[in-house]
């Protein structure tokens, strides 16, 4: 016992480094094995006793993969019978709990340095960045299964938006676009359908992103709602044969930038008169009337309204019960804010895989939250087909 205490005290007197936790685990494991073997043999190591039940027969080396790294063990052998340490059973409960804490901390956007402080607060000696990353790789299987799952049913409405985060790539820090797609199916249920990570929002990127969704089974898309992305608009028409809706809220912000501070309230009220109409024809007529009113004093704004008319008012061709939800990207804004909040804590991601791991876990969490909600995002009865249903007649309207 004295020798054990001296060895333990020697460990504790070491400076806090990356190997200390591993050495402490090794010391505790070796002590536990000696106690277990002592009970099996009926005597301590080297002790002469008439009550001895078995003789020791040296040691066999074995590497123990722990969450703190690889620990080298010397497992005692017996001349009669066998011995196997109890703690080498796969994934004991305490180890699972520690892994879950670290994974949850990472998913919640806690930086690896803060995770190290968290582990220390649990009475351990800390954990390195590489160890945190290794622990979090276990999340990959669930995230990939979620992001690559088959998409079933029809999804009339698809919201797409992107946010930017910083990632290390080939020794440089680059800004990567994280694109998220959220859909509503004909049951009125909302779900995260996919995500993509790319260097830009060019048409080639959007085309590949939508094709991947289509390969997984996405069909029945009638309207794609996003910000003003010409590449996405072209890709949506080519891949999904869908109409594009430009976010009305984002357009209004761009429009007010051309109106000057004194005219913002007036311009906002004038545009609202077009949005308040009950059908596409009167909405377009009022839109053109407003743009003509503004043309003499605000020619740039009038020109902007002329070019954006079809995209901004596309939602008017759909059921009135849906318009309040489909005229903007608000349904996906909250998701993007949550992604931004958690990724900003991390700062710069070490690679694209780490980015996908965190954002994918956030999206999985969000989709699960929507799945258990009792109320539908859109009323089920509003999807009932009729002879003049815009959802049915959309291809003719889009043409």
pLDDT digits (tens, 9 = 90+) for 136-183: 777 788 889 999 999 999 999 999 988 899 988 888 889 988 999 999
pLDDT digits (tens, 9 = 90+) for 221-260: 999 999 888 888 889 999 999 999 999 998 888 888 887 7
- Residue 60 has phi, psi (to 5 degrees) of -125, 135
Q: Read off the tokens for 65.
A: 């993969």
Average pLDDT in the chain = 81
1 pLDDT above the threshold of 90: no
The share of the chain scoring above pLDDT 90, in percent, equals 28
Banded pLDDT at 102 (limits 50, 70, 90): low
pLDDT of residue 91: 45
Question: Which sequence spans correspond to the domains of the chain?
Answer: 2-89, 94-136, 153-238+336-382, 248-327
Q: Read off the tokens for 9.
A: 């005290």
- CA atoms of 359 and 337, how far apart (whole Å): 12
Of residues 199 and 59, the one with the higher pLDDT is 59
Is it true that domain 153-238+336-382 has CATH number 3.40.50?
no
pTM, 2 dp: 0.69
pLDDT of residue 398: 38
Of residues 89 and 357, the one with the higher pLDDT is 357
pLDDT digits (tens, 9 = 90+) for 43-97: 777 777 777 888 888 888 887 766 667 788 888 888 877 787 877 754 455 555 5
């Amino acid at each position: 016992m004295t020798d054990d205490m001296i060895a333990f005290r020697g460990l504790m007197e070491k400076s806090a480094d990356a190997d200390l936790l591993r050495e402490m685990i090794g010391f505790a494991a070796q002590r536990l094995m000696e106690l277990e073997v002592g009970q099996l043999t009926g005597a301590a190591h080297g002790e002469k006793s008439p009550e001895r039940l078995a003789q020791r027969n040296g040691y066999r080396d074995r590497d123990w993969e722990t969450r703190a790294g690889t620990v080298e063990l010397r497992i005692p052998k017996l001349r009669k019978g066998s011995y196997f340490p109890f703690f080498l059973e796969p994934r004991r409960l305490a180890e699972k709990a520690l892994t879950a804490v670290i994974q949850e901390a990472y998913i919640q956007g806690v930086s690896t340095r803060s995770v190290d402080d968290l582990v220390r607060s649990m009475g351990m000696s800390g954990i390195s960045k590489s160890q945190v990353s290794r622990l979090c790789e276990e999340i990959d299987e669930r995230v990939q299964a979620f992001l690559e799952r088959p998409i079933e049913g029809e999804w009339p409405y698809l919201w797409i938006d992107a946010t930017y985060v910083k990632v290390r790539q080939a020794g440089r820090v680059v800004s990567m676009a994280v694109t998220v797609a959220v859909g509503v199916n004909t049951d009125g249920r909302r779900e995260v359908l996919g995500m993509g990570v790319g260097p830009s929002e060019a048409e080639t990127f959007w085309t590949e992103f939508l094709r991947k969704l289509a390969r997984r089974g996405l069909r029945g898309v009638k309207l794609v709602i996003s910000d003003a992305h010409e590449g996405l608009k072209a890709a949506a028409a080519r891949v999904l044969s869908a109409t594009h809706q430009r976010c009305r809220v984002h357009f209004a912000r761009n429009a007010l930038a051309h109106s000057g501070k004194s005219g913002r309230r007036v311009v906002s009220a004038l545009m609202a008169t077009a949005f308040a109409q009950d059908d596409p024809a009167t909405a377009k007529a009022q839109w053109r009337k407003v743009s003509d009113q503004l043309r003499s004093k605000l020619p740039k704004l009038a020109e902007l309204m002329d070019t954006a008319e079809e995209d901004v008012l596309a939602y008017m061709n759909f059921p009135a019960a849906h318009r309040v939800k489909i005229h903007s990207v608000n349904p996906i804004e909250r998701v993007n804010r949550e992604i931004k909040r958690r990724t900003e804590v991390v700062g710069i991601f070490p690679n694209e895989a780490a980015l996908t791991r965190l954002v994918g876990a956030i999206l999985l969490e969000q989709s699960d939250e929507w799945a258990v909600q009792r109320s539908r995002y859109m009323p089920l009865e509003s999807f009932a087909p009729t002879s003049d249903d815009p959802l049915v007649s959309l291809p003719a309207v889009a043409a």
